[in-house]
Amino acid sequence: MRKLRNYLFVPLLAGILVLTAAMSGTAAYAKPHRTPGHDLVLLQNVPQAQDGFEDGTLQLTPLHVYKDGHFVKPSARMQWTSTNRRVASVNRDGVVKMTGKPGASTILVREGRLTDRILVIAKPVRNSDKRHGNFSMSYEVKKMHGKRYNLVPNAIRGMSLEEKVGQMLMPDFRTMNGKHITELTPEIEALVKKYHLGGVILFRENVVTTEQTARLVADYQKASEKYGLLMSIDQEGGIVTRLQSGTDMPGNMALGAARSEELAHQVGQAIGEELHALGINMNFAPSFDINNNPDNPVIGVRSFSEDPELTAKLGVAYTNGLQGTGTSGTAKHFPGHGDTAVDSHLGLPEVPYYKERLKQVELYPFQQAMDAGVDAIMTAHVTFPKIDDTTVISKKDGTPITVPATLSHKVLTELMRDEMGYDGLITTDALNMNAIAEHFGPVDAVIRAVQAGTDLVLMPVGLESVADGLLDAVQSGKISEQRIEQSMERILSLKLKRGIVKEEAPAPIESVIANAEKTVGSDEHKQVERDVAEKSVTLVKNDNVLPLNAAAEDKIAVVGSSYIDELFTAVKKRHANTVLIKKGEPLTDEELAQLDGVSAIIVGTTTSTVAGRSPSHPQMQMVNELIGKTDVPVIAIGVRNPYDIMAYPEVDVYLAQYSFRTASFEASASAIFGEIAPQGKLPVTIPDPSGGTLYPFGHGLTYTN
């Protein structure tokens, strides 16, 4: 009987393939049915749109397309029909459900005389894992073809020059009149409309609670005129976390220490799901920078590691998880901000290497991100004189400076576009940072960035003057309109790809808030947060002290300043007889006296700069004092950067946790008391201050039974 079923299955499979081939020909062209006002088009037929099948279910999205080319999601309910309900059904909201049977069905949508259709196909696929049967079903969408689906070029033809320029602008509205902007004001709504803004970036000042954030984002989208807004945020995880409610992921370097692509994917997915639920559709994350300079004051733990291959693997996994939720990801900061010792918020850093070295190290993760389909790439306000040695006169002091990557045609167009083959969206980093703002005028910086090849101008200084200046540059021929339209192509294509379309009747805000409150900070996401923290904590040094077996009567002291309350809370939860000495400099005699009778000292240090981890820094003097003046084990925790042990190499125990988020303190305390065995491996090399290596990349101890 099994043989008979197999014989019957082969011709069935062949028949489906023939049917598919036939339908990919002339049957895949849909006749337009138009009224004078607009056309009806399914978003899934547009070339930029993705299939969106999930567990055999597909949400189809109809669009009204108007004479001037702009498109919106209609409020009217459509009529839906499936021509083969044996294969697929469709409900009145356009949700297609495949039955699990092989074959094809045309899904029709109708609104009066307006119609469109799309083909859905179910194919059997042989399983390699026989436990789940010999075959399973794969589902695909076969798009219709025709000029009516070329929404992007049609829209660009109908846009005014002011609209095109406005789509390239993404300002921030953090504060106004001394107050944080947590709701859309009439003044901001007017600016969104007046300048036809393509997007807005949100900061921690804007996003306080889940409900408030959902309302704010929804109101921004209502304020947009023809095209939905790119609502962006820097939700990297770790030290760059904007949402004040939700999941506090330990950050990229913690993922580098955990060495798990699966965890990186889960982190990206959790962050994406939370942002998507809030209506935030673009995340300026993750950082693909390689932290191969321990003195870097701005990247540090925002990087996955110092290793190009590990950075690429984890960055791509994170990005795939993020973009799988419908939230755009951004690889930053191209061509690489890792090997710098200057913060571009404060000055203009330089990376001095030739292209050959950059391709092996700094550029390698970005190439992998491009090949994996990252939606956007953010540029670095860093000079690369071996790629572009063009100099300009600084407006700050009149001296010649090398043009930074953000404003370099050789970097953005010749290297990124032409040589590396990237055709996605390019966005600047914030143009109000000193690396740009001090040396270039606000309008000049934007014009140079667009001439260099950027598509999205992030946080320009002075919205009105920049919008007018960019418009004047096009009208005067300084920038060609064709160059602007290249950016329009990418911006509108990304919006269609991610379903960012103006809605005639948005979903009721109450339902949006209910879904957001269920998603943001969910138990599932909090578990991912704990998993990363526990698998990343790295035991760098252990002189037979850990795990700490403390009797109930033993007293333990926790000492430190920054974030020390979190560490104290985590330790005291596990050992009630714990005291806190809150200090970030050498202890007084009275404070030292409080340590009498303790059985162990746990000290936390937090640094972000070279000066902070110098042995002469008061915080580090305190740690070395504890090591020298007490005769009990001193357990040190590098709260943020893992390099702190360079200042106190004689400590008995050293743990690196890479994050000041709650889950990381809990993980360190769990490791100290033996609740978990440390698993993390150093994602960076810890150098010896006198030269050489103190602890190598990949080093990490654990407990043995």
Give first-to-last CA distance, the chain, whole Å.
55
Structure tokens of 668?
Answer: 């360190």
Active-site hit among 172, 219, 234, 429:
429
- Tell whether the model's pLDDT for residue 263 goes beyond 60: yes
Q: Lowest mean pLDDT: which of 9-18, 384-393, 453-462?
A: 9-18
Question: What is the pTM assigned to this prediction?
Answer: 0.92
Closest CA to 338 of 369, 307, 315: 307
pLDDT (tens digit per residue) in 183-201: 999 999 999 999 999 999 9
Which pLDDT belongs to residue 395? Answer: 87
Mean pLDDT of the chain: 91
CA gap 521, 529 in Å, rounded = 10
Which pLDDT belongs to residue 130? Answer: 54
pLDDT (tens digit per residue) in 394-442: 888 899 988 999 999 999 999 999 999 999 999 999 998 887 888 899 9
- Tell whether the model's pLDDT for residue 594 goes beyond 60: yes
Q: In 285-403, at which residue ranges do the beta strands (DSSP E only) sit? A: 330-334, 376-379, 391-393, 400-402
- Residue 31 has what DSSP assignment? P
- Residue 26 has what DSSP assignment? G
Q: What are phi and psi of 221, to 5 degrees?
A: -65, -35
Which pLDDT belongs to residue 354? Answer: 87
Helix (H, G, I), strand (E, B) or coil at 436: helix
pLDDT (tens digit per residue) in 275-331: 999 999 999 999 999 998 888 767 889 999 999 999 999 999 999 999 999 999 999
Closest CA to 644 of 660, 658, 630, 632: 658
Structure tokens of 406?
Answer: 């953000």
Q: Give the mean model confidence (pLDDT) for residues 126-155.
A: 84
- Tell whether the model's pLDDT for residue 14 goes beyond 90: no
CB 395 within 8 A of CB 389: no
Burial of 125 (0-12, 13-18, 19+ CB in 10 A): exposed
Q: In 179-267, at which residue ranges do the beta strands (DSSP E only) sit? A: 179-180, 199-202, 230-233
Q: What are phi and psi of 624, to 5 degrees?
A: -65, -30
CA gap 39, 63 in Å, rounded = 8
- Tell whether the model's pLDDT for residue 705 goes beyond 60: no
- Tell whether the model's pLDDT for residue 19 goes beyond 90: no
- Tell whether the model's pLDDT for residue 30 goes beyond 70: no
Q: What are phi and psi of 665, to 5 degrees?
A: -65, -40
The angle at the Cα of 584, spanning 582 to 585, to the nearest 5 degrees, equals: 120
Residue carrying the six token digits 């004047």 = 472
CB 322 within 8 A of CB 271: yes
Our answer to whether residue 525 is catalytic in this structure is no
Strand partners, 687: 693
Query: pLDDT band at residue 338, thresholds of 50, 70 and 90?
Result: low
Query: pLDDT band at residue 29, thresholds of 50, 70 and 90?
Result: very low
Query: pLDDT band at residue 131, thresholds of 50, 70 and 90?
Result: low
CB 486 within 8 A of CB 412: no
- Tell whether the model's pLDDT for residue 24 goes beyond 50: no
Helix (H, G, I), strand (E, B) or coil at 403: coil
Q: What percent of the chain has pLDDT over 70?
A: 92
pLDDT: is 77 or 627 the higher one? 627
Our answer to whether residue 429 is catalytic in this structure is yes
Query: pLDDT band at residue 12, thresholds of 50, 70 and 90?
Result: very low
Ramachandran class of 600: left when φ > 0, alpha when ψ lies in -120 to 50, beta otherwise: beta
Residue 321: partners with Cβ closer than 8 Å, 6 or more residues away: 264, 265, 266, 267, 268, 269, 270, 272
Active-site hit among 33, 180, 345, 409:
345
